Structure 1
Amino acid sequence: MTDARELQAQFDAQRRAFAAEPYPTLATRRERLARLATLTRRHRDEIIAAIGEDFGHRAEAESRLAEIATVLQAVRHARRHLRRWMRPRRAAVPWRLQPGRARVHRQPLGVVGIIAPSNYPWNLAWLPAVDALAAGNRVLIKPSEHTPATSALMARLAERYFDPAELAVVPGDVETARAFSALPFDHLLFTGNARIGREVARAAAAHLTPITLELGGKTPAIIGPDADLSHAAERIAFGKWLNAGQTCIAPDHVLIDASRLGDFIEAMRRVVNDFYPRGTAGEDYTAVPGEHQRARLEAMLDEARDHGCRMIALGERVELPGGGAKLPPTLVIDPNEGLALMQEEIFGPWLPVLGVRDFDAALAHVNAGPRPLALYAFTDDAERRRRVLETTHSGGVVFNDTLWHNAVPALPFGGVGESGMGAYQGEAGFLRFSLERSVFLQARRNAVGLLNPPYRRWLLRLLGL
């Protein structure tokens, strides 16, 4: 547990360290990133075990894929491209100001704060840290209080591999999180739900701290009339039930022509049987941690059942030693728009499937709601793809698959509107945690003195002013 005074002391130490080294060299930045990769690679098994302890059960392959590999890939990408990212960028100069020169100088901000969630406790703490370190900043991380084993391991390893003035992890409860978000960071990144995101934004506003918010939302999956249903079902099932649906960019609901609804349901049955041949009891299906989270999800399902919705459970609930549980993949057919299932981000294994009139109706449904963090569309038709891109808004778009845009380090990751503000990852993350500083270098011999008072009207006309 980190109290407010200790937190302030750690922040002040990083501020002093940054002041002493305000522009780390390329070699220094690469070496810090290499240490982060070593930390993750060398302690892979401990990380997987800690996440499994916090979840009650987390499929090991999912931890390797979504926690370990993503961080190592981000480090490789940043180290490979960092020299180019750091290089000043030339800017065009209007002819009236030539032979002056202009450039954009990319400078570290200072101390960056990161508030990470519990669903991907390693990934979503370290991915933004990769970008912040690449940009030359000092980093403070507040991991989730809901993943105590992972948070404690993260703090121990950070202390072993980094000077606390470079990077530190500060575990703690909700009060620690409030004190953390109230610090005068040079940039603060929060990943979580919109309700807490608003609290973080209010706290940051006291210091006019720039913020990046990654908030999730109601991510739709649209199945076009030309889509192969077997392929669409496979890719939606992968994106939905990875981590038991506890992914901010998981498909939240499916929109499909009503005439194809029955065939899609049968395709989903086949896919889930193929994915989980031992059912939810198997090692490849992840638990939903936390009594509060499970109660929230079960209340959603109970409300939909009370309103007469058709439910199709594709597995059994499994109780785990220690009080945890696996909740089964469940389709909810044509739920009413007023239900919590359709108003709130589900963040679990329930999947509403809505039959709509046609592709236009699906796009209208998307546009009627808050802008999501991602949008998935299954169609090979170029015109339909164009309409998806030009008539809807979302953080990211994937055609004929789900999730994988987030695995491309060169693509910015972020939301819009209710799903967040700002983006990071790769060069977008480097720029997020940098100051792009305008620089103008005046030539020794120049003509701008001709524009000094008293102003000559004939000269202004000659210059087109």
Structure 2
Amino acid sequence: MTDSASAHSALLDAFELQRHSFMQQPPSTTQQRQQQLLALKQQLLAHVTLLTEALNLDYGQRATYDSLWADIQPVLSMIDYSRKRLRRWMQPSKRHTGLLLTPAKVSVHYQAKGVVGIIVPWNFPVMLALGPLISALAAGNRVMLKLSEFTPATNQVLGQLLQRAFSAEQVTVVEGDVTIAQAFAALPFDHLLFTGATSVGKQVMAAAAANLTPVTLELGGKSPVLIDEQLPMQLAVQRLLFGKTLNAGQICVAPDYVLCPTARLADFIAQYQQQFVQHYPDFANNADVSFIVSERHRQRLWALLDDALALGAQCVSACPISPQQLDSRAWPTQLLTNVTDDMQVMQQEIFGPLLPIVTYDDIEQALAYIKQRPRPLALYLMSEQPALQQRVMQHTHAGALVINETLMHVAVDDAPFGGTGASGMGHYHGIEGFKEFSHAKTVFKRGRLSPTQWIKPPYGGRLQTWLKRWILR
């Protein structure tokens, strides 16, 4: 048997083990699920140092606080939040029957779907593996995790962590290249979650469709930042810069481009450069800088930059560097002006330290620009005008609207996270995650008395006449 055939066989065996275990074992109780989440928390805390070291190794350099703040802390918070509320989430909810169905009792029970597949990207390999895992376990499922082939050191630690917390019947880690990923997506899961590029998300959804597997897709897209004419530029840049520089901008909800009033463009660039240097002095030798994850990804960003420059864009670096500095994987933000729609940087999700700036002369022009494009995973509005805030909320579509901040909505445990349209479908986090990985089963219960004895053939008589009039009233 070839290595490829052996890997595919092992993949199928792991799936069958979990499916058989789910079918044979009784549904897990609230206490059992809480214990699973506690075991995950304990192992995560025990592996924090190993995880930060592994992330640093996989990236070439990954700022420790980027890993702690964005990859590990959100998982710990989500575990605590879910454990505390799980008993209430699992309670059946009573529903109303209506007059014609009385007497009867109707309730909705949230039942585990079965075996859940989670396809994990490389940009936050801890949070985007364990975050969905928490929701799936809270719902009572078995889980298979396909980890990214671009984070091998982190995968090794995650595998060790999960093996110590769970049996293979409960949680299984899968590694491998694109062929394994394709085989993974084609398994007949009871639910499949994918985080990654929109183009790959379409392929995952097509593979899942063959099995009628429901999917949750977290895809990203081009999340804009709209700066109004009044908000102090120092504040707007302060909030934006954090979202663009964390993990070198390699985030699905990172600010992808800026809509800036034409008259404020010079102020925006000056503020960005000033604040960037304050946060990252001696950029080339700064341990707080996270690298572009790989040479392949750096070359992709170079191609986007070259294409934009060839088509007339102007590039200003956030801090003084030599052209040779861009040959490394540590890039300061490259601010791009004079961008046009025919540039690849305005068509593809950037996922890195390039920041196009689109100028506008009135707010109507800016809103039209947003609405004419695919719906993003996040829309960032920098404005203190209540009327504009309300208008953007009502007249634009995005996975989330974030006002005077970037990224931080992802860390909210008590709100759903997900996209819409080109940026994805479905949600997780909090009760929405619990419901996403559960089947809402309606239970209709009748006693000995039933009105159906009066509404079946042969039709006729006063009761039937009254029912007809009541229905058509």
Question: Per the shorter chain, which TM-score range?
Answer: over 0.9
Partner of 2:168: 164
1:99-118 CA-partner distances (Å, limit 9, x unpaired) = 21111110000000000000
Partner of 1:331: 335
Segments ≥4 residues shifted beyond 6 Å: 317-320
Q: How far does residue 296 in structure 1 lie from its aligned partner after superposition? A: 0.8
Partner of 1:111: 115
Task: State the alpha-carbon separation in 2 of the partners of residues 318 and 218 from structure 1.
Answer: 27
Q: How far does residue 270 in structure 1 lie from its aligned partner after superposition? A: 1.6
Q: Matched residue of 1:430: which SS?
A: helix
Corresponding residue to 1:340 among 344, 359, 364: 344
Return 5+ residue gaps in structure 2 as ranges. none
Instruction: Give the residue type in structure 1 aligned to 2:95.
Output: A
TM-score w.r.t. structure 1 length?
0.97
Partner of 1:412: 416
Q: In 2, are the aligned partners of 1:221 and 1:251 still within 8 Å (CA)?
A: yes
Mapped pair 1:307 → 2:311: yes
Task: State the alpha-carbon separation in 1 of the partners of residues 43 and 33 from structure 2.
Answer: 16
- Aligned sequence identity (%): 41
Mapped pair 1:127 → 2:136: no
Partner of 1:200: 204
Partner of 1:441: 445
Alignment of structure 1 residues 198-347 onto 2, 5 Å? 198-315=202-319, 316=321, 325-347=329-351
TM-score w.r.t. structure 2 length?
0.95
Mapped pair 1:10 → 2:38: no
1:331-389 CA-partner distances (Å, limit 9, x unpaired) = 10131111001010000001111110122111111111111010000111121111111
1:18-45 CA-partner distances (Å, limit 9, x unpaired) = 1122410001100111111111111100
Q: Matched residue of 2:70: which SS?
A: helix
1:208-262 CA-partner distances (Å, limit 9, x unpaired) = 1111111110100001122121111011000011100100000000001111111
Q: Matched residue of 2:406: which SS?
A: coil
Mapped pair 1:141 → 2:154: no
Q: In 2, are the aligned partners of 1:281 and 1:318 still within 8 Å (CA)?
A: no
Instruction: Give the residue type in structure 2 aligned to 1:91.
Output: R
Q: 1:318–1:28: structure 2 CA closer, same or farther, 3 Å change rule?
A: farther
1:168-207 CA-partner distances (Å, limit 9, x unpaired) = 1111111111111111000000001011111111211111
Q: In 1, are the aligned partners of 2:295 and 2:329 still within 8 Å (CA)?
A: no
Task: State the alpha-carbon separation in 2 of the partners of residues 319 and 454 from structure 1.
Answer: 89
Instruction: Give the residue type in structure 1 aligned to 2:167.
Output: D
Instruction: Give the residue type in structure 2 aligned to 1:443.
Output: G
Q: Matched residue of 2:230: which SS?
A: coil
Return 5+ residue gaps in structure 1 as ranges. none
Instruction: Give the residue type in structure 2 aligned to 1:126.
Output: L
| Greater CA drift, 10-19 or 299-308 | 299-308
Q: In 2, are the aligned partners of 1:219 and 1:375 still within 8 Å (CA)?
A: yes
Mapped pair 1:376 → 2:383: no
RMSD of aligned alpha carbons? 1.6
Q: 1:137–1:319: structure 2 CA closer, same or farther, 3 Å change rule?
A: farther
Q: How far does residue 135 in structure 1 lie from its aligned partner after superposition? A: 0.2
Corresponding residue to 1:455 among 438, 455, 459: 459
| Greater CA drift, 437-446 or 187-196 | 437-446
Task: State the alpha-carbon separation in 1 of the partners of residues 323 and 133 from structure 2.
Answer: 36
Task: State the alpha-carbon separation in 1 of the partners of residues 374 and 357 from structure 2.
Answer: 18
Partner of 2:85: 81
